[in-house]
Amino acid sequence: MKARINSDTNYVDNFLARLDNLKEKLLTAAADVHFDKYKILVSVGYKSNRASVFAGYGETIDLAYQAACNKALKHIKFIKSTPDWLKLDLVVSEKILTIDELDELAQKPNGSILNTAFRSIRCTISRFWSRK
């Protein structure tokens, strides 16, 4: 994995500041959203690699955010580099598909199987991005 190595640990502070900024946007947008359980996804991306996605679950948005953030922070500390981009998702709807349902989606002419399945699995997501 090629990554820019920082000489000090400011990559952690940078990551946390950017993620907290995204969290504030998410909390504002999701002020009227109430569930029994929340699922937050933190995506961490580098130009040279595919994104790593970390899921957090909790009975409040804050607990779900903290769980996902802790997993992503562990990854950032291992890589020792500032991510090129971050994305924070609040999943508000998802559906588990059977093989038959997935096969049926694959037969539809309205786009690729990946896009169709993704739209079906993650029907509604609030997305917040941060680029360096």
CB environment 86-119: b (16+ within 10 A), e (fewer): bbbbbbeeeeeeeeeeeeebeeeeeeeeeebbee
Q: Which of 28, 37, 32 is nearest to 91 (CA)?
A: 37
Domain parsing of the chain, residue ranges: 10-93+124-131
Q: What is the rounded CA–CA span in Å between residue 8 and residue 108?
A: 51
Do you know the residue count of the chain?
132
Pair of tokens at residue 25: 């946007």
Fold of the domain built from segment(s) 10-93+124-131: Pyruvoyl-Dependent Histidine Decarboxylase; Chain B (3.50.20)
Half-sphere exposure of 113 (CA within 13 A, CB side): 9
Provide the H-helix boundaries in the chain: 10-29, 61-79, 99-107, 113-121
Q: For tokens 């709807």, what's the residue?
A: 93
Residue 117 pLDDT class (50, 70, 90 cuts): very low
Residues 6+ apart with CB under 8 A from 37: 57, 58, 59, 64
Q: What is the pLDDT of residue 59?
A: 92
pLDDT tens digits, residue range 17-73?
888 888 888 888 887 778 888 899 999 988 888 889 999 999 998 999 999 999 999
Sign of CA pseudo-dihedral 23, 50, 108, 94: negative
